[in-house]
Amino acid sequence: MTLRPMSLTRKFAVLMVLFLTLQGAQLWMGLGGMARLGEEAAFINAAGKQRMRTLLLAVLARQSRESDEARASILEEIDRYEETLAVFERLASENESLRAPAAEVRAAWESDLKPLLAGIDSVDADEAGVLAGEIEALAPAQAARIDRLVSLLEENVRNDSRQLTIRHTAVIGVSMALGAWAVILARRKVTTPLRRLVAATREISGGAYDRRVAVSSGDEVGLLGGAFNDMAEEIRERTRELTVLQEAISDVASSLEIEALLQKLVWHASILVRADLAALVVLHPETGEIQYFKSSVPPEAFPVKTLPTGRGLLGVILKEGISLHVEDAAKDPRFGGLPPGHPPIRNLLGVPLILRNKLVGELIVANKEDGGSFTPADESLLTALAFQSASSLENARLHSRAVEMATTDGLTGLANRRAFEARLEEEVDRSERYQHLFTLMILDIDHFKNVNDTHGHPAGDVVLRELARLLKAAVRTVDFIARHGGEEFVILLPETGGTNGREVAERIRARAAKTPVKLPDGTEISFTISLGVACYPSCGKAAPDLVDRADQALYIAKQSGRDRVCLYHETLKAQLEKDPDRITAMLNENVESLYPIVSAVDIKTSFSRDHAEKVERIAVRLGGALGLSADEIAALRLAGLLHDIGIVTISDAVLNKAAPLSSEEWEAVRRHPVTGAALLEGVRMLRQIVPIVRYHHERWDGKGYPDGLKGEEIPRLARILAVADAYSAMTSDRPQRKAWTAEEAREKIIEGSGAQFDPEIADVLQRISGENGGR
């Protein structure tokens, strides 16, 4: 059995009863003691008189011989003596210590004095004198007996006074203890808890909403503390809700992208009212059909877009525009069931999104956390969030429309130039981050001016729209198409290299040439397009450079007869072959131009595509294994890319010749290191790599070219580059042979160690190849 804790009121009531009881006892003891002391004092007084009366009787007995008046007085005093003895006996009956002395006084009186005194009245004077003598002899003894009785009585008085003092002191002590207990109880149970309560109230008012008071009793103060804690928890929860609501409204209001706004709204709704599930339905402003749906459940598991308006629990809100609170959804007759795999719905709370008195959607939460129920406070919070979110949704729609208008070409429906420039920057950043390729093509309608001049501008618009449709049908969904201006269009092909980019461009060109366009007047015309293609990063690593180089390729396509595709590499290759010194000029203008230059040089041969990049990678690995400094490795990297730059002056026929070269052709090939070094000599930022490029075909035994250097006369970085160049060439197809395997190439390098190659570097190649599985 559990006892209920005593309340504070009951505790103080008990204290008061005890205190009053003690005071009553003290009063009773005081009154009783005073009465007893009064009686004892009266007894002492009477005893004193009795002693005097005893002596007086002796005197009266002597006088009785001569005076009848004395004899009469004796009789009166006998009566008084009897009355006093009766008082003695009454007091003695209450005090055992007085009984024997009182009895002696009575016995002596009855046996001696009283008979003698009574006999005086009946005898003559002589006999009265005899009796008086006897009385005088007995009176002192009787007085002594009375004195003993008085002494005992005085001792009793002293004892009673002492006992009364002790009792009063005890009562006062207990009263003081009860008072102290009351003070301590008041301090512990009232004052201190109330002070803590006041301090906690101040802390909570200052924002410390997690502050609580310790509740250690079940009395009124404890109940007050418990009520305070409940209130503090309620304040904390309401404050949390208002904070979450404010953050949610602010977060949603700052979102101008519709998808992001919907996702945030669903997330904030579930956090705000502590729900496991949340969903948002947005209606189309014109048709009233479901336009957007966002849920915390994967969309494939909740196909709410198929829900007809007015059906099911969600449909009730959409149809009636009212809040809906259902505690047992499964038992509600309006519940339309759930798709397979959807989490069960226990309870549900939905509120409408209303903007300018028009229903624009609904916000729903389901399954209150920890099995609880949604409250009116939850509904108020969700309604406030929905009210604010309706305006934010409208703002996002307006922003989306504005962005669409600002980034969409009104004629073709494609992205416009502004959108293209932003997307190109994004693609450059993404490709740089993940080391991906992409292709940019710029295309232009051939002789478009003639279409406008002959058939009018409306006909030209028809051609532009038809080309836009054709382009969208010809590329992937991940590709990006935009109208660049006039009759010029651009296409971005993510993760697509130059070869595949050319194939796509050729396919588009051919499809355009085969697609007639029907004009408004019924006339059918044909048109062709020209395309310029540039690739990242080989044609450039900056967005403006890529656009410029694709545009240069388009210009060459136009100049070459139109209705064709031209890659920037091919354009640049032709320009560099015609004017090799342009290499120096381009590199001085921007050292990043080395990438398109290297790519243009690489395509001079059918077998050396990406040869420069391969040599660069091998050389850098060798340099790292040899412990080169960061500056030396940077120089190796540049030299690896530019080591064959001199072959720009050699004809493609010689470079791709399968038969043995003539002496003149061989001499031209042997000059390319010198030519490359000369071109780089004029580039101030690249002069440190000139010796590496010039001497990378020298041999360890002195039989190389161009200067026949031997051993350590050859710069160390050039010796490293020689091994990397030879290994790359051996593992690539050549006009005279197929590529060797990595193992065969390593064997050839080892065979040439000490003759063609530096033995140390040849050994390092063997070692690092073994560490990388033979690669």
Same domain as 729, residue 599: yes
Residue 301 — pLDDT band, cuts 50, 70, 90?
very low
Same domain as 719, residue 668: yes
Same domain as 390, residue 310: yes
Q: 618 lies in a domain?
A: yes
State residue 306's pLDDT score: 47
Q: Report which DSSP code applies to 525.
A: E
Same domain as 279, residue 135: no
Same domain as 362, residue 292: yes
Q: Look at residue 727 and tell me whether its pLDDT is greater than 80.
A: yes
How far are the Cα atoms of 126, 185, 218, 351 from residue 3, in angstroms, in the given order?
Answer: 92, 20, 11, 49
Residue 638 — pLDDT band, cuts 50, 70, 90?
very high
Residue 716 — pLDDT band, cuts 50, 70, 90?
very high
pLDDT tens by residue, 147-186: 787 787 777 777 777 877 887 787 777 778 777 777 777 7
Q: Which of 40, 241, 466, 487 is catalytic?
A: 487
Cα 646-649-654 angle, rounded to 5 deg: 105
CATH of the domain at 593: 1.10.3210.10
CA proximity to 521, closest of 449, 445, 455, 447: 455
pLDDT tens by residue, 745-759: 999 999 999 999 999
Same domain as 134, residue 176: yes
Query: Where on the phi/psi map is residue 486: left (φ > 0), alpha (ψ -120 to 50), or beta?
Result: left
Query: Quick one: how far is CA 146 from the chain centroid?
Result: 102
pLDDT tens by residue, 26-84: 666 666 656 666 666 666 776 676 677 777 666 766 666 666 677 677 777 777 778 77
Q: 84 lies in a domain?
A: yes
Q: What percent of the chain shows pLDDT beyond 70?
A: 83
Same domain as 96, residue 44: yes
Cβ 723 vs Cβ 762: under 8 Å: yes
Cβ 218 vs Cβ 187: under 8 Å: no
Q: 572 lies in a domain?
A: no
CA proximity to 391, closest of 349, 352, 356, 365: 356
State residue 629's pLDDT score: 95
Q: 227 lies in a domain?
A: no
State residue 774's pLDDT score: 47
Please say which residue of 522, 547, 567 terminates a domain.
Answer: 567
Question: Which H or E run includes 599?
Answer: helix 594-602
Q: Look at residue 209 and tell me whether its pLDDT is greater than 50.
A: yes
* Contacts of residue 75, Cβ cutoff 8 Å, sequence gap at least 6: 121
Same domain as 559, residue 451: yes
CA proximity to 348, closest of 283, 293, 246, 270: 270
CATH of the domain at 512: 3.30.70.270
Q: 188 lies in a domain?
A: no
pLDDT tens by residue, 86-111: 877 777 777 777 777 777 778 878 77
Same domain as 146, residue 86: yes
Dist. CA 573–CA 603, nearest whole Å: 8
Q: 71 lies in a domain?
A: yes
Dist. CA 590–CA 683, nearest whole Å: 10
Q: 220 lies in a domain?
A: no
Question: Is 712 annotated in the active site?
Answer: no
Please say which residue of 405, 425, 446 terminates a domain.
Answer: 405
Grouping H, G, I as helix, E, B as strand and the rest as coil, residue 630 is helix
Q: Which residue has the higher pLDDT, 169 or 478?
A: 478
Dist. CA 482–CA 528, nearest whole Å: 18
**Mean pLDDT of all residues in the chain?**
82
Q: Look at residue 360 and tell me whether its pLDDT is greater than 60.
A: yes
Same domain as 386, residue 314: yes
Bond from prior residue into 308 cis (ω within 30 degrees of 0): no
Grouping H, G, I as helix, E, B as strand and the rest as coil, residue 368 is strand
Q: Which residue has the higher pLDDT, 250 or 632?
A: 632
Our count of domains for the chain comes to 4
How far are the Cα atoms of 62, 128, 602, 666, 758 from residue 67, in angstroms, in the given order?
Answer: 9, 11, 179, 194, 177
Same domain as 730, residue 627: yes
Q: 611 lies in a domain?
A: yes
Please say which residue of 524, 540, 567 terminates a domain.
Answer: 567
Provide the residue range defining the domain that includes 281.
242-336+343-405
pLDDT tens by residue, 374-405: 888 888 888 888 888 888 888 878 877 777 77
Same domain as 397, residue 515: no
State residue 89's pLDDT score: 76
Question: Does the predicted model carry a pTM greater than 0.85?
Answer: no
Dist. CA 673–CA 695, nearest whole Å: 7
CATH of the domain at 311: 3.30.450.40
Residue 567 — pLDDT band, cuts 50, 70, 90?
very high
Cβ 132 vs Cβ 123: under 8 Å: no
Torsion angles phi and psi, residue 112, rounded to 5: -120, -70
pLDDT tens by residue, 506-529: 999 999 999 999 998 889 999 999
Q: Look at residue 305 and tell me whether its pLDDT is greater than 60.
A: no
